[in-house]
Structure 1
Amino acid sequence: MTSGPSSAALLLLADGRLPAGGHAHSGGVEAAVVDGGIRDIGDLEEFLRGRLATSGLVTAAFAAATRRSCPANGPVPDGIITELDIELDARTPSPAQRAASRAQGRALLRAGRAAWPGLSCPLSAPHQPVTFGIVAAAAGLSPADAALAVVYGAVSGPASAAVRLLGLNPLAVTALLARLSPDVEATADAATVLSERPPADLPALTGPRLDLLAERHRAAEIRMFAS
């Protein structure tokens, strides 16, 4: 992990209070609560472990790969960023998930430009992990930093949503996130190694239940979260 002044930037980008839209998305938790798949802390743990093993690894690898493709000081390369975005789109079969990812990407891009005015991006609405890699480069973070922050967000955001939706004990949820810490770090480490591959060879693991939950949530008449 990065040390020095950029460590504070990593904390800033991993903070759920960052105005990048993450607080408005439950990562499938709301739909899982509605269908009875998540009822207690044990169900939440299984759900988060599933996210880590599938979408967590994939999105972290793409964030790290994007960061690896961006020079620390210089223009963002259009071709490789577009290719990464297309490859991630192909790995996101749910239209609802694609829309949610791009919405968060736009919001993160706005926040990134406010914090680092020199930040540039060749796309108007890239997927959130791709945007994260670009912002990480502007912030002076490493590919490993980008992977760690994205993996952490893959579990911390849904965990926070579960507290709001089910009224779970926040202390118990904090303890759960602490238990998941070794798995979060292991997933981030694996994603960092995998990010050295060409875009077409990056992980393509799927989470069919997450896709179904996203589509079901989009069709719901009443919902607290955008996704």
Structure 2
Amino acid sequence: MSLAALLVLADGRFPAGGHAHSGGAEAACRAGRIHDAASLEDFCRGRLHTAGLTAAALAGAAALGLDPAELDAAADARTPSHALRTAARRLGRQLLRAARATWPDPALEELAAAFPRGAHQPVVLGVTARAAGLGPLDAAHVAAYESIGGPATATVRLLGLDPFEASGVLARLAPALDAVAGRAADAAHRALLEGAGSLPAVSSPLLDITAEAHAAWPVRLFAS
């Protein structure tokens, strides 16, 4: 494992396009479900154990070398919202563009050729992690962190929340994040024997519903 590569990949300044997405926080703020640090923490905890776990397991499996096409199909099956599938592929394209420039690798070129419209972001993340010399647990940690880091950062902009409070939310969720990443990595290893269908498929229906509504807003700050 390269600790430096892990830090680069997890850095919010890495040009992977995540700054344009709120992970459902924008819709939750408008609905009043997020209105302060405590409600942000509740939202992030729920997202971590659902969308975060699913994404982390997909990323871990891709880092182990499972077939990206099989994993992309599994990601599609686990993303019922058309708006979220579109966002995931857009993020995947942007991440792949950054990854190819940062860690040139034949696997990244093959992924770009196989998915000209973009693969799901967690799949690209896992292949990128492998190209950077990282393992499945590393990839799972990055995916899990992204699942809560994005909403926390977005809420600072959406509500004017104190950035120190948002950082405190992420720090308090660190033990849960570690546990989710561990579960995801274990699931990725099982998938080597049982296939991508055995990966977690934890749902968050409200995120799917609000993503469809958010995509139809005429004015919005974030793409998703």
Q: TM-score, normalised by structure 1?
A: 0.92
Shift of 1:123: 2.1
Aligned to 1:65: 61
Residue 120 of structure 2 is aligned to residue 127 of structure 1: yes
Runs of 4+ in 1 over 3 A off after TM superposition: none
Aligned to 2:7: 11
Q: Residue 23 of structure 1 is aligned with which of 14, 19, 30?
A: 19
Q: Residue 38 of structure 2 is aligned with which of 38, 42, 55?
A: 42
Distance 2:103 2:188 in 1: 24
Q: What root-mean-square deviation, in Å, do the aligned CA atoms of Structure 1 and Structure 2 show?
A: 0.9
Aligned to 1:213: 210
Distance 2:53 2:23 in 1: 14
Residue 132 of structure 2 is aligned to residue 139 of structure 1: yes
Aligned to 1:92: 79
Instruction: Give identity over the alignment, percent.
Output: 52
Which runs of 5 or more structure 2 residues have no equivalent in the other structure? none
Q: CA offsets, 1:173-225, max 9 Å, x none?
A: 11111100000100000000011221011111100011011111101111000
Shift of 1:42: 1.1
Shift of 1:172: 1.0
Distance 2:37 2:213 in 1: 22
Residue 175 of structure 2 is aligned to residue 182 of structure 1: yes
Q: How many pairs align?
A: 214
Aligned to 1:107: 94
Distance 2:5 2:213 in 1: 36
Q: CA offsets, 1:93-130, max 9 Å, x none?
A: 00000000000000000000010223321322100000
SS of the residue 1:195 aligns to: helix
Shift of 1:24: 0.3
Q: Residue 170 of structure 1 is aligned with which of 140, 163, 175?
A: 163
Distance 2:214 2:14 in 1: 24
Residue 146 of structure 2 is aligned to residue 153 of structure 1: yes
Distance 1:62 1:222 in 2: 32
Which runs of 5 or more structure 1 residues have no equivalent in the other structure? 71-79
Distance 1:12 1:217 in 2: 31
Distance 2:39 2:206 in 1: 14
Distance 1:203 1:116 in 2: 28
Q: TM-score, normalised by structure 2?
A: 0.93
Distance 1:60 1:115 in 2: 22
Distance 1:217 1:13 in 2: 28
